[in-house]
């Protein structure tokens, strides 16, 4: 969890595999674009910073966070050569239970994709109470969750490669 003492964007490149030979998919929710675009840019830049190649990154957009699961599933089927996928979304709590339903469905859906497919999917969906909390975690005072998801994606891509039988 991001706090004032834990900036999500700080990483040690010496502990991260070189991303040069990996291919990544990034699915971005169009809902709350100020937030999701910030996380996309953080993820993209972190992959490049760790040796990734721009041409090895595929981006798709979906309307909202609920649609991330379907987009990830289709990307897994369409791009079987991908090494990892990052699902980027932002759900901000409102006055109805819609927030709870979208967050739970998206979380469970991405978990199911990880259980059913050989291509790991990183959960980069902010579930904040306020817009300010989302801003703080998408390039603000708490760093950028997209950067964190990219680092995890690189590490999972390496694990996927190493665990091949």
Distance in Å from the first CA to the final CA of the chain: 35
Q: Residues 13, 20, 74, 98: which is the catalytic one? A: 98
Radius of gyration of the chain (CA): 15
98 assigned to active site: yes
Tokens at residue 115, please?
């259980």
Q: Give the contacts of 95 (CB within 8 A, at least 6 positions apart).
A: none
Orientation angle between helical segments 98-116 and 68-78, nearest 10 degrees: 20
Give the DSSP letter of residue 8. Answer: T
Tokens at residue 28, please?
């971005």
Q: Which residues are catalytic?
A: 98
């Amino acid at each position: 969890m991001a706090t004032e003492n834990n900036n999500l964007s700080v990483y040690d490149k010496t502990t991260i595999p070189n991303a040069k030979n990996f291919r990544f998919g990034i699915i971005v929710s169009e809902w709350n674009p100020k937030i999701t675009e910030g996380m996309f840019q953080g993820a993209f830049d972190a992959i490049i910073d760790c040796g990734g190649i721009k041409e090895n990154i595929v981006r798709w957009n979906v309307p909202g966070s609920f649609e991330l699961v379907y987009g990830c599933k289709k990307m897994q089927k369409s791009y079987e050569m991908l090494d990892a996928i990052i699902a980027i979304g932002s759900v901000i709590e409102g006055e109805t239970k819609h927030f709870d339903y979208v967050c739970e469905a998206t979380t469970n859906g991405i978990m199911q994709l990880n259980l059913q497919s050989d291509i790991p999917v990183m959960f980069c969906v902010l579930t904040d109470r306020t817009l300010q909390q989302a801003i703080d975690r998408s390039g603000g005072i708490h760093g950028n969750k997209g950067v964190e998801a990219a680092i995890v994606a690189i590490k999972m891509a390496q694990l996927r490669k190493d665990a091949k039988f």
